[in-house]
Amino acid sequence: MDITPTVPDEKDTTKTPDTRAAEACDQIDAILTRYQELGLFNGSALVANCGRIILKKGYGLANMEWGIPNTPDTKFRLGSITKPFTATLVMQFIEQGQIDLAAPVTRYLPDYPASTGDRITIEHLLNHTSGIVGYTEMPVFGTTIRNPYKPAEFVDACFSKLELLFEPGTRFSYSNSGYFLLGVILEQITGESYENLLRHHIFEPIGMNDSGYDAPQPLLAKRAAGYDKRFDGSCVNTVYIDMTQPYAAGALYSTVEDLYKFDQALNTEQLLRSESKTRMFTPCLGEYGFGWQVRQRNGLIMTGHEGGINGFHTLFNRIPELGRSIVFLNNTGAAPLSEMAEAVHMVLEGKDPPMPKQPGALALFEAYETSGLDAMLVRAEEMQGGTEYKADSNELTRLANHLLATDRNKDALELAEKLAQDAPRCEMTAFLLGRAHRANDHRFEAVQAYSRAIELSETPRMLFFYTDAIREISDIAPKNQG
């Protein structure tokens, strides 16, 4: 762990900067350690404030089979934290006059279908307002992730021929397809691979020597293995994905140290001119700029991105005006990284964040197996009033999903109906209810629930997924009214 002098935002003039830095480091370390002890975080972390690193440490294991610990220079797959790098490359070529923000896709990719490509601009791709269906939301995606593709072949096979979700520029809908397409455009106009463009234009100039385009074949020192957590908290090796599929939307690996180098370079004009960064960090629809989520915290601009890819979950969070950066790289699938980042912000603002609670879904399942669903719901109410367990709707949803996965479909439906009643305007609860009805062969009710999820959706991102599920069952729905 590295501790260097820094000054938290809420200054205590009775203490030296070194003392304040050490105290902030200890408090943050205690919080992250608790998350790791509860099985909620397994990875590496870096926290900087006032432009100086105050914590840099690994938690848990990079390789569970060999017992190798995570360290600050462990390499993790980034998932969608790849997108800020893709956006930076695009902005560099805009500065050089080789790409025009207002140009349609078909200017750079003449073979792209004109019916949609003439209407989609580079800007639409950068800020997720293109209307292109995200290939990761297509039901077939999970069945083909082992297949290698050349970039142009993937575009043609997976999404270029689909109808748009909406007219470009009118709505926000996060789309991995859009950033995949940006990578193809970069290769088309330069004649270089996306991997080489990253190395020559970003990684080498700022010394990101532990970062690159991931692939399973090369030997990569200090590579973290990716794991998925089971319901009981144990881990298994994650499912293989061919990295030609995430490509410019999610194929990079890096370390917390290298991402901090990227953060620091963005505070200079080494990678981009000031006017380019202003444009990149200006939010459009959905609080999204070009490759960055852009929000406010205490009146200051906070930019960042999260990433998720098989076995990995990542977060990169920065408030440039405070010289503050938070980087979490986790190698056990989904983790409460946003919650952890909020706790770090609170510490640096002189506040005392709550310590994490133990996830309650497993204990609730044990109560269910012992005493049944009604007793489990009573136990959930008791947990919600206590300090040991977290037993909110997310934990109950986890439990409902586990009941579905273990063919306890009738009880899963009863729990899903309760969750839908408690949160009638929640999209994901409506989706869960649709799945539960479908598992119980209530096709008509399943269609109703999926339709409700579409109605409640704030973005059209999952529209293709929902409508595909409806299409599969709607032809026989009238035969079964419940």
Instruction: Indicate which CATH number applies to the domain containing 257.
Output: 3.40.710.10
In a domain, 197, yes or no: yes
In 3D, which of 263, 257, 271, 260 has the Cα closest to residue 210?
A: 257
In a domain, 60, yes or no: no
Tell me, yes or no, whether 300 and 388 share the same domain.
no
Place of tokens 């410019």: 248
Displacement of CA 305 from its chain's centroid (Å): 7
- The upper half-sphere exposure of residue 32, i.e. CA atoms within 13 Å in the direction of its Cβ, equals 30
Tell me, yes or no, whether 328 and 418 share the same domain.
no
Q: Given 321, 348, 375, which residue is the final one in a domain? A: 348
Residue type, 254: S
CA distance 331 to 275: 36
In a domain, 62, yes or no: no
Estimate the crossing angle of helix 373-384 against helix 409-422, to 10 degrees: 40
The predicted pLDDT at position 462 comes to 79
Q: Given 296, 325, 348, which residue is the final one in a domain? A: 348
Q: For residue 248, what are the β-bridge partners?
A: none
The predicted pLDDT at position 410 comes to 97
Tell me, yes or no, whether 342 and 411 share the same domain.
no
Q: For residues 274 and 268, is the Cβ–Cβ distance under 8 A? A: no
The predicted pLDDT at position 20 comes to 79
Q: List, for residues 110-134, the tens digit of each pLDDT value.
A: 999 999 999 999 999 999 999 999 9
Tell me, yes or no, whether 325 and 380 share the same domain.
no
Tell me, yes or no, whether 437 and 342 share the same domain.
no
For 282, the 3-state DSSP assignment is coil
> What domain range is 241 assigned to?
77-348
Number of domains forming the structure of the chain: 2
In a domain, 413, yes or no: yes
Residue type, 457: S
Residues in CB range of 295: below 8 A, 6 or more apart: 283, 287, 301, 302, 303, 304
Strand intervals (E) in 393-451: none
Tell me, yes or no, whether 397 and 324 share the same domain.
no
Using CA of residue 347, residue 349, residue 353, residue 359, what is the dihedral sign?
negative
Q: For residues 212 and 199, is the Cβ–Cβ distance under 8 A? A: yes
CA distances from 411 to 248, 370, 433, 439 (A): 42, 14, 12, 11
Tell me, yes or no, whether 336 and 378 share the same domain.
no
In a domain, 55, yes or no: no
In a domain, 11, yes or no: no
Tell me, yes or no, whether 116 and 249 share the same domain.
yes
247 phi-psi bin (left φ>0, alpha ψ -120 to 50, beta other)? left
Q: Which two tokens stand for residue 196?
A: 């080489």
Question: DSSP label at 199?
Answer: I
Using CA of residue 266, residue 272, residue 274, residue 280, what is the dihedral sign?
negative
Annotate 373-392 with DSSP letters as a single string: HHHHHHHHHHHHTSSSEE-S
In a domain, 59, yes or no: no
In a domain, 68, yes or no: no
Tell me, yes or no, whether 330 and 414 share the same domain.
no
Q: Given 348, 372, 399, which residue is the final one in a domain? A: 348
CA distance 92 to 203: 14
Tell me, yes or no, whether 335 and 412 share the same domain.
no
Q: Which two tokens stand for residue 74?
A: 């462990």
Q: List, for residues 334-370, the tens digit of each pLDDT value.
A: 999 999 999 999 999 999 999 999 999 999 999 999 9
CATH number, domain containing residue 362: 1.25.40.10
Tell me, yes or no, whether 168 and 237 share the same domain.
yes
Tell me, yes or no, whether 333 and 363 share the same domain.
no
* pTM confidence score: 0.92
- Helix (H) or strand (E) run with residue 59 in it: strand 52-59
Q: For residues 49 and 323, is the Cβ–Cβ distance under 8 A? A: yes
Positions in the chain short of pLDDT 50: 1-11, 477-482
